[in-house]
Amino acid sequence: MRKKINVIIVHGIGKPSPGYAQKLIKGLTEKFNLALQERLRTTENQSYNIVIREIIWDDVLAVNQDKLAALLKKGFVEHRPKGFRAFASKMFSFVTRPIFRLRTDFAAESISDIIGYKNSEAYPKIQERIKKVLSSMEDSSAMPGEKQYMSIIAHSLGTVIASDFVYDQLKAHHIFHKWFLFSNFFTLGSPMALFALQYGVELFKSPVPLEYKHGQWINIFDLDDPIAYPLKNLNEAYDAVVHVDQEVNTGGFGVSHTRYFDNQDVQNIIAQKLALDCLRINGRIE
């Protein structure tokens, strides 16, 4: 029986709907199969399975975010500018109103994601969401006692959420999961380096280790992405665990952070590694 490659995707800030990762899933699946054909030097379709599931966590924060957005917008509506600003605001309301709306929506949906994630009620609920998806991916046809392989693709704040989840699981149970082996960690546009300030730069020395001996932590970032930073240069601990800080081009300064999922280079980097894993665990390559 051929062993599967399993992947979960963890989104970043914002309000994604179910299916938010379909472009990434489609691209990965196609490139995964092409990579298998290239490695095996054949044009025939391969029957190796790759199972990919997306995780949605933002709805855990949605109720409080909606309340906050309403309060912020109410504050702008009730606030009455004076003098020239009052005149300009009235004359150019077709410009100022959308800007105010965008500003409050950004604060309520994006900045509050970062703050609200650590809420004592939200944090365990988000972790339970990940556990539920993992449980749904358990393969009853697998050999008893044999762990399946699980990779995580995470974007933006999702990289912090995924890292915290793995860290907490390893701390509590000394393993990632009873059925899955933590195999690869693909962090896209990660602000993880910024979270060093939460603990102090000198104390931020506990990166999550991979359980698969051939696994890799690949940190993918665009230099034009103001939220993403390299990880290997944080300290010796991260340098030892992170395989590579891989630079890609996902777009200009204003959009680069939002375009990792549909970027062809990003998809190919991940697909090539997963294809190598698939062939290795199924005994097709050394």
- pLDDT of 157-177, one tens digit each? 999 999 999 999 999 999 999
Distance CA(119)–CA(68), nearest Å, equals 15
108: DSSP letter = I
pLDDT at 162: 97
pLDDT at 194: 85
CB atoms within 10 A of CB 17: 8
Residues 14, 151, single domain; the answer is yes
Is the model more confident about 105 or about 119? 119
Q: Is residue 286 part of a domain?
A: no
Q: Is residue 212 part of a domain?
A: yes
Name the CA dihedral angle for 62, 22, 247, 31, rounded to a multiple of 10 degrees: 160
Q: How many domains does the chain have?
A: 2
Contact (Cβ atoms closer than 8 angstroms) between residue 8 and residue 155:
no
Residues 136, 80, single domain; the answer is no
Residues 65, 159, single domain; the answer is no
User: Token digits for 282?
Assistant: 């199924």
Among the ranges given (103-117, 190-204, 214-228, 266-280), the one the predictor scored with the smallest mean pLDDT: 103-117
Which of 100, 116, 132 terminates a domain? The answer is: 116
Mean pLDDT of 106-122: 65
Residues 107, 238, single domain; the answer is no
Is the model more confident about 104 or about 112? 112
pLDDT value at 105 more than 80: no
Is the model more confident about 285 or about 108? 285
Q: Quick one: which H or E segment has residue 186?
A: strand 180-188
Distance CA(49)–CA(39), nearest Å, equals 16
pLDDT above 70 covers what percent of the chain?
Answer: 77
Q: Which residues constitute the domain of residue 207?
A: 5-59+121-281
CB atoms within 10 A of CB 95: 11
Contact (Cβ atoms closer than 8 angstroms) between residue 248 and residue 276:
no
CB atoms within 10 A of CB 71: 11
Residues 75, 214, single domain; the answer is no
Nearest to 131 by CA among 92, 109, 89, 161: 161
Cα 166 to its chain centre, rounded Å, is 13
Mean pLDDT of 91-120: 54
**C-alpha pair distances (Å), 237 with each of 187, 220, 254, 281:** 17, 18, 32, 28
pLDDT at 74: 52
Distance CA(249)–CA(259), nearest Å, equals 9
Distance CA(125)–CA(123), nearest Å, equals 6
**C-alpha pair distances (Å), 251 with each of 20, 52, 110, 219:** 19, 26, 20, 17
- pLDDT of 240-251, one tens digit each? 999 999 999 999
